[in-house]
A and B are shown apart, each in its own frame.
Chain A
């Protein structure tokens, strides 16, 4: 039984402040496991975790798989190219089939928003949204919060600037409400063509002037820009994007000394971040990756492996 307020994690809004604190504190103690030679806990022994990744993903899928294995769960990976969806099976039928096979946690990555919700309607398992279309990616937000909290010792009062394609970013879709919930301040920086219609609803203010914002930030959070060339692209060129919104040596100098740089990956080296901005000690993107395993372990542990006495309370 879950010790969290919701059986599933589809949106960051499914979690309370207390839930998030609980997950981050649990992750903090689990970080120690990840330093050991034998990185294994028996918590999810006998449980089955399905990674249903119907859209390409290396980082998130691997992170979930490692997290589940370190908790001794049996893990199954299903990817877009190996699943029956390529044979025309609907998500409803895939979910019902997985349910019949029997699994305890299902993690889904899908190119369409709301896919994780569809799973909850067709499976008994706890469902974790591993990224649905341009909607949300709540575990990314949790690992980002964890990274910030480990570094600063707090979340309340931090000023986070998120730069890049906000409109199509499920990372921002979860991180912005999460920051608001935890008492941090957010500013988004992007050309208007890469902003959602009502960014105010996500709890962020908008700036088009990165240089003016940089000195005020505790966290500079950079997003990837879609490289794909397309008719009616929202940008004239990547060159111009980098000029206006990319961070290199000059803009690094504008950051306050205590500020950190984060990025959910994968990075387009030389576009949003130069090699210098990737090499600096301020850049915590690899800490984020490590945090991802601990946070996902904590989440799964609290979802299905939590202490029984807590569940009864």
Chain B
């Protein structure tokens, strides 16, 4: 038994926001309240371990529903074990693995490989998204039903947009029978071409090929229309533009099964952060957009139009990011900074409540993916994230749990970070130190 004492516990789903205690027994929350009866069980064997967490904030365990584990195939960038530790360091109890591994996670055996390996590694709960199309080639359906039976909870060709409209319709029709969402990376390749940065100020200044906002928005509009046609739940990944948000708003107002996510880098960085140093850690897909988009995304997140914040954790080795900007791979790491960025830029500045934070990092991802709910309530799995809101820290170029250091926020001062993480009542991080299992 474990008793977490003295922290401010917040779970909007049960209307909880109070300094109270949480009693954990056998991996579940046994009770929540002040002065819990935790005394001797009469046999002298059931005394709880007590942790005083005064000054901390406890939230339902956070989940990152957009993570590239890189295993199998690119273990030099990241593997399941290092990603699991990075997740714990960043305050997450669970992640959703994207299927663009090598080989692609497009069959039941490959789904099973990731789930088995993650179970062996422990530390963090790993869920798996299977590929929509075989080998992510966008030509024919992958064995979606078999992957579903093996435990895949969502389907996506993330990393690429699915170009063929007819195939996307087939995929959404087909996935619909399993009541799973299709996660859509929206990128119209015939329009985006070789674009590497937002088409506008930065493409002009740096002489780089533009990745126009319309290349994303056209596919958002298409996929919303297909969600209506198929009835399949659609989750727009890493949305970046104000126009895209309008499309999502209109779809939601019409009652369509549409949700969306935003990354920390699209919330807080924009094209003006790119300059003549050609920092490849700022090369993203979709690209960093405009200051006006930053503003629209933040407002939409606070309002609840954006359902989820996800990291799109995309580790790449130093030698890959040291290439010329146009040759370097897209993406940045985010597991270890996303929560702190939200705490620093939104919650700490009182632009967003902890309640919204819990919604977008804990409840919404699980609801969208149809996963077991977690909460600060008796009977829930004891998946908890403990935050130290007072700690100030600087994002450093090294010392990551992730194998890769391609973070977009290096040098930035942040306030607040996860101090402890519990997964099924077992700590994956204690006082900022990730626990070896």
Contacts and interface: CB of A to CB of B under 8 A. Distances in A.
Interface string A227-257: 0000000000000000000000000000000
Contacts of B228: none
Given A197-B200, A198-B201, A201-B201, A117 B277 contact: yes
B410 interface: no
Contact of B326 (A92, A113, A196): A113
Contacts of B51: none
B166 interface: no
B203 A196 contact: yes
Contacts of B212: 197
Interface stretch (B123-131, B317-325, B386-394): B317-325
B201 A114 contact: no
Contacts of B205: 201
A198 B272 CA distance: 14
Contacts of B199: 197
Interface residues of B, number: 22
Given A90-B323, A114-B324, A198 B276 contact: no
Contacts, number: 65
Contact of B324 (A91, A199, A202): A91
B324 A136 contact: no
A117 B200 contact: no
Classify the secondary structure of B's interface with A: loop
Contacts of B206: 113-114, 135
Given A91-B324, A92-B322, A197-B200, A113 B207 contact: yes
B210 interface: yes
Nearest to A177: B205
A162 to B, nearest CB: 15
Contact of B323 (A10, A13, A91, A198): A91
B203 A197 contact: yes
A306 interface: no
Interface residues of A, number: 26
A197 B210 contact: yes
Interface string A162-175: 00000000100100
A215 interface: no
Nearest to A14: B276
A133 B204 contact: no
B327 interface: yes
B204 A196 contact: yes
Interface in A4-48: 10-11, 13
A110 interface: yes
Given A112-B325, A114-B206, A114-B325, A90 B276 contact: no
Interface in B143-201: 199-201
Nearest to B201: A198
Given A90-B319, A114-B276, A198-B203, 19 more contacts: A10-B276, A11-B276, A13-B276, A90-B323, A92-B322, A110-B324, A112-B326, A113-B324, A114-B278, A117-B276, A132-B207, A133-B326, A134-B209, A136-B207, A173-B207, A197-B199, A197-B200, A197-B203, A201-B204
25 contacts: A10-B276, A13-B276, A112-B325, A112-B326, A113-B206, A113-B207, A113-B208, A114-B276, A114-B324, A117-B276, A117-B278, A118-B322, A118-B324, A132-B207, A133-B208, A134-B207, A134-B208, A170-B207, A196-B203, A197-B204, A197-B210, A198-B200, A198-B201, A198-B203, A201-B204
